Amino acid sequence: MTDIGGFCSPRFSGVFDAFEANFEENLELGARFSLVVDGELVVDLWGGWADRKQTTPFDDRTLTMIYSTTKAVAATMIARLVEQGKLAYDQPVASLWPEFAQNGKQAITVEQVLSHQSGLPGFTAEMDPALWFDLQAIAAKLAALAPMWPPGSASGYHALTVGYLTGEIFRRADGRTMGQALKADICHPAGLDLWIGLPDSEHGRVAELKPPTALPVFGEITDPKRAAFLSPWAAPNGRGPEWRRLEVPSANGHATAEALARFMGALAGDGSIGGVQVLSPAVRDLASAERIRGQDLVLPYELSWAAGFMRAAPNHFFGPGERTIGHSGWGGSCAFADPDARVGGAYVMNRQDVHLIGDPRSRRLISAAYEAL
């Protein structure tokens, strides 16, 4: 039996049972699930171990790397610039970043980048994987790159590259890096344990990941899939201190589930966390609108993309809400906001599974939460 810490409102006892079942069925090493309803934290459960040797408990201070769940945070940070008038979704990226116009990319818009339509999922030419640690070098390579398909014609998941693209867009529009703005404007004043670019002082709290035992199923292997995931240089080697310090808004955020749930809970409600305004409902709705829907060229799913968020339809990985937005992360993490039910939630863990999105563990928890609503 795994000791479960935290609390769970009696109304959501089914969520406790689902969380406990994930451990009883040996699906977890360490995990946390948090749920916010109408701005109130109603579920915050954790359990298991933060390390593979099972010597350090996974507790309320444990941070996990959330991989692509970071993209939901990045989408919100870009939306804040839209709300502030520093950026427009239909604005050509090259108007901010002139070098990006190379190789026929002059008309690609900010929202096309955010919704994975720009045709830049990765690099087909061999390169040193260590280059991913050089933000400006990768941005320059992407600015010079030719799209792999006609921009705007389809989505093809930009697993890693979209973080370098949005990070550069944010920096040019705001003057700060996205991680700096996230900390100064939201996380520090609201008390959120959520980071893009993790200071060395926090590294000792990071859970050790247990990688999956198999590769995800991508279907027929194509050049965009190789570029995004399957080449030897599709990602950096290693996930140590240098990677944690880096700001890659697509892949290396660190957070607690409680911080993520409160962040997404703001999007599901009036846009605020304890007096800190994150995003107005009107701009949330603008960011949440569908930009493209269809069979993705990289992920083996039909997907509906908003401006950086995964939308509910057609898969409903984040529950039954039709207007729910969120994102999943490699290995199983996820965060979501449902403005109709006014629910925000997040699941983090350190035993990674092969599911690219819609991990069965999080789906069980989310289903139990909605049964109680």
| pTM score | 0.98
Residue with tokens 């090493």: 29
Residue with tokens 């941005």: 139
The CA-based angle 33-38-41, given to 5 degrees, is: 35
Distances (CA, A) of 335 to 34, 70, 312: 10, 9, 12
Best CA proximity match to 124, nearest among 28, 234, 3: 234
Best CA proximity match to 186, nearest among 94, 133, 262, 294: 262
Determine the CATH number of domain 4-372: 3.40.710.10
Residue 288 a catalytic site member: no
Q: Which of 9, 34, 68, 155 is catalytic?
A: 68
Determine the pLDDT at residue 96: 97
> Residue 170 phi/psi, 5° resolution?
-60, -45
Residue 326: strand, helix, or coil: strand
The domain limits of the chain are 4-372
C-alpha dihedral (334, 114, 297, 327), degrees to nearest 10: 10
Report yes or no: 356 and 330 within 8 Å, Cβ to Cβ. Answer: yes
Report yes or no: 123 and 141 within 8 Å, Cβ to Cβ. Answer: yes
Distances (CA, A) of 348 to 45, 116, 362, 363: 11, 24, 9, 12
* Low-confidence spans in the chain with pLDDT less than 70: none
User: What residues does 337 pair with on adjacent strands?
Assistant: 325, 344
Name the percent of the chain lying above pLDDT 70: 100
Determine the pLDDT at residue 214: 87
User: What residues does 254 pair with on adjacent strands?
Assistant: 65, 195
Cβ neighbours for 325, distance < 8 A, ≥ 6 positions apart:
72, 267, 287, 288, 306, 309, 310, 311, 312, 318, 336, 337
Helix 360-372 × helix 13-24 angle, to 10°? 160
Distances (CA, A) of 23 to 3, 27, 30, 31, 32: 10, 6, 9, 9, 11
Residue 340: strand, helix, or coil: coil
Strands (E) in the chain, as ranges, are: 4-8, 30-37, 40-48, 64-65, 194-196, 253-255, 272-273, 276-277, 292-295, 302-305, 310-311, 325-328, 334-338, 343-349
The strand order across the sheet containing 253-255 reads 64-65, 253-255, 194-196
Determine the pLDDT at residue 2: 86
Best CA proximity match to 372, nearest among 2, 35, 26: 35
Chain segment 133-172, per-residue pLDDT in tens: 999 999 999 999 999 999 999 999 999 999 999 999 999 9
Cβ neighbours for 39, distance < 8 A, ≥ 6 positions apart:
265, 266, 269, 270, 342
Best CA proximity match to 347, nearest among 144, 47, 1, 81: 47
Report yes or no: 169 and 176 within 8 Å, Cβ to Cβ. Answer: no
